[in-house]
Amino acid sequence: MSNLPLTDPESTSGEHKETFDQIQGAFGAIPNMFKAIGNSSAALESMWTSFGALGKGKLGAPLGEQIAVLVADINRCGYCLAAHTVLGKNAGVSEDDMAQAQAGQSSDPKTQVALDFAAKLVTKSGQVTQADVQAVRDAGFSDEEIAEILAHVALNIFTNYTNIAFDVEIDFPKVDLRKAA
């Protein structure tokens, strides 16, 4: 049972209800994570609009989803790992590539650099060096894309913490977290 009650979207009104309606339209259902954070209309809007903004970014859904599963595994968030594994497959990433990304690996050298940078952002609490940023540039990422990698990491930390702190029940097909190092 969740540490925070799941909001009944039907009991909301105004902008709060509109946000839930948008989520319903996008997923065909309202995932439990949104019902948990939906205890606050502002927090729900923050999370939902962040997904929308990054969805229009230059980085693209496949890499965004690979970053998401890596961050979820580092932070031990089974909910986000399950959700983003499904979303990654829906974005055209193979099951094997999603599993590799969860482990911080990619056969694509450019993706590997992005995953390495994302992992450093998480494990070093954002304390990366100029050389770390330059390595991402040298791999062919623009400054816009580098900023989006950080934004994806930050959004996924928000969702990971939501699901971990509130013990949100997973409503996607479960995926095993890797064994902690």
Q: Which CATH number is 100's domain given? A: 1.20.1290.10
What does the pLDDT look like over 53-106, one tens digit per residue? 999 999 999 999 999 999 999 999 999 999 999 999 999 999 999 999 999 999
pLDDT at residue 39 greater than cutoff 80: yes
Residues 97 and 49 in one domain: no
3-state helix, strand, coil in the chain (%, to 5): 65, 0, 35
- 181 assigned to some structural domain: no
How many domains, the chain?
Answer: 2
> CA torsion, points 48, 175, 106, 55, in degrees to nearest 10?
-10
pTM of the model: 0.96
Q: Based on the number of CB atoms within 10 Å of its own CB, is 71 exposed (0-12), middle (13-18) or buried (19 or more)?
A: buried
Residues 35 and 78 in one domain: no
- 39 assigned to some structural domain: yes
Residues 157 and 81 in one domain: yes
- 3 assigned to some structural domain: no
Q: Is 173 helix (H, G, I), strand (E, B) or coil?
A: coil
Confidence of residue 1 (pLDDT cuts 50, 70, 90): confident
Widest CA span of the chain, in angstroms? 50
What does the pLDDT look like over 116-174, one tens digit per residue? 999 999 999 999 999 999 999 999 999 999 999 999 999 999 999 999 999 999 999 99
**pLDDT for the residue numbered 83:** 98
**pLDDT for the residue numbered 181:** 57
Domain holding 115, by residue range, is 61-165
Confidence of residue 179 (pLDDT cuts 50, 70, 90): confident
Residues 41 and 112 in one domain: no
Residues 70 and 145 in one domain: yes
Confidence of residue 2 (pLDDT cuts 50, 70, 90): confident
Tell me the CA end-to-end span of the chain in Å, nearest whole number.
28
